[in-house]
Chain A
Amino acid sequence: MYYKFNGVTQRLVGAAASAAYNPQGLKPIVATESPALIFGTTTKLASDLPATDSFLGKNKVPDLQKLFQKADGLPVHLKRGVPDKLLYRTTMALTIGGTIYCLVALYMASQPRNQK
């Protein structure tokens, strides 16, 4: 008998082996078994394609899962390295620079205009 945690009733309930070997919410860091197990055997998937059918690209999710679960101490918004850092710095420059510009503009707008 296998068990899983039912999030609604907050109790352990009976489950099939596949649910026990693939706990809810947890994904394996590296596929130690065959790739099919990452997705489970009883759950039918949107990605459950025969090997020959490549309708609109192949499944890169397992590789991305490995990449984002690397224990490198990076926060999720910088996990991908250089492209993330560039985007982050651009956003920071625009928002912080913009805030300063905004405060200056609001200060000038609040000065009474003498000509009428």
Chain B
Amino acid sequence: MAHQAHSYHMVDPSPWPIFGAAAALLTTSGLIMWFHYNSFQLLLLGTLSMLLVMLQWWRDIVRESTFQGHHTPTVQKGLRYGMVLFITSEAFFFLGFFWAFFHSSLAPTPELGGQWPPTGISPLNPLEVPLLNTAILLASGVTVTWAHHSIMEGNRKQAIHALTTTILLGFYFTALQATEYYEAPFSIADGVYGSTFFIATGFHGLHVIIGSSFLLVCLLRLINFHFTSNHHFGFEAAAWYWHFVDVIWLFLYMTIYWWGS
């Protein structure tokens, strides 16, 4: 099909990168307009165009790989490097928020009452819902591995069952966290405790939602026969991301929820 003497993928010209950049501009400016002028239109426009770009860009990648066969082992190697580097960058992103937490909690100032948790803060009991959430994410790590092995063995029904279970566990985690947020006796405005707690767990929750969406797309592709038993990198990338989300939660649980209570 291709008249090239190498195994790399020279992509067709695509509008999504520039549209994606424009969507990022709209989203960030939209945040400004919302924060300072109480106006939603730009933010709405930004998130909508971001969604459209993501959908079409990733749809094109599925077309190029599954339908056009461009993802040779060389291309796949590049994608693996890319995903690893991306997850590493996300790890550093969370590292910053953990740094902020330890900066304030290891040596609490007199303004906080010289203690951690600060005076007046009643932290959540780590042995209640947070422990359940830990169990849920650990279980989802098991089910996603089960799904992977089912795919590799060509067992379609089991793979679909395992991946569906993983996604449901992810949704259960999100629902529980949402109720925890609603019921918490402290808010993001409650000093540095509130800030570090809600920013760290909030970004983690966002990553759970992103990971669940990624797994959901993989489920749809799995149902539509896109994966073969030895070529299913989209699924592997989603599984790596999901394990990363799980590890971040374990750190959050051990440091902020448990040590910090």
Residues of A participating in the B interface, judged by any CB pair closer than 8 Å: 5-8, 24-27, 29, 39, 43-49, 55-57, 59-61, 64-65, 67-69, 75-77, 79, 87-88, 90-92, 94-96, 98-99, 101-102, 105-106, 109
- B70–A25 touching, CB < 8 Å: yes
- B224–A98 touching, CB < 8 Å: no
Find the A residue at minimum CB distance from B26. A98
Contact of B156 among A49, A60, A77 (CB under 8 A): A49
- Residues of A with C-beta under 8 A to B121: none
How many residues of B are in contact with the other chain, CB < 8 A? 61
- A76–B229 touching, CB < 8 Å: no
- Residues of A with C-beta under 8 A to B67: 61, 64-65, 67-69
Query: B7 within 8 Å of A by Cβ?
Result: yes
- A105–B33 touching, CB < 8 Å: yes
Query: B48 within 8 Å of A by Cβ?
Result: yes
The answer for the CA separation of A61 and B225 in the assembled complex, in Å, is 7
- Residues of A with C-beta under 8 A to B66: 61, 64-65
- Residues of A with C-beta under 8 A to B159: 46
**How many Å from the CB of B183 to the closest CB on chain A?**
38
Interface SS of chain B: helix, strand, loop or mixed? helix
The answer for the CA separation of A77 and B67 in the assembled complex, in Å, is 13
Residues of B participating in the A interface, judged by any CB pair closer than 8 Å: 1, 7, 11-16, 19, 22-23, 25-26, 29-30, 32-33, 36-37, 41-42, 45-46, 48-49, 52-53, 56, 60, 63-64, 66-77, 151, 153-157, 159-160, 222-230, 232
**How many Å from the CB of A51 to the closest CB on chain B?**
14
Known: A25-B69, A43-B228. 16 other contacts (CB 8 A): A39-B228, A44-B229, A45-B229, A47-B228, A56-B160, A57-B223, A60-B224, A61-B226, A75-B14, A77-B60, A91-B15, A94-B48, A94-B49, A95-B19, A98-B46, A99-B26
- Residues of A with C-beta under 8 A to B72: 7, 24-25
Known: A46-B156, A76-B68, A106-B29. A25 touches B75 (CB 8 A): yes
The answer for the CA separation of A9 and B181 in the assembled complex, in Å, is 51
- Residues of A with C-beta under 8 A to B56: 77, 87-88, 91
- Residues of A with C-beta under 8 A to B53: 91, 95
- Residues of A with C-beta under 8 A to B7: 5, 7, 25
Find the B residue at minimum CB distance from A78. B12
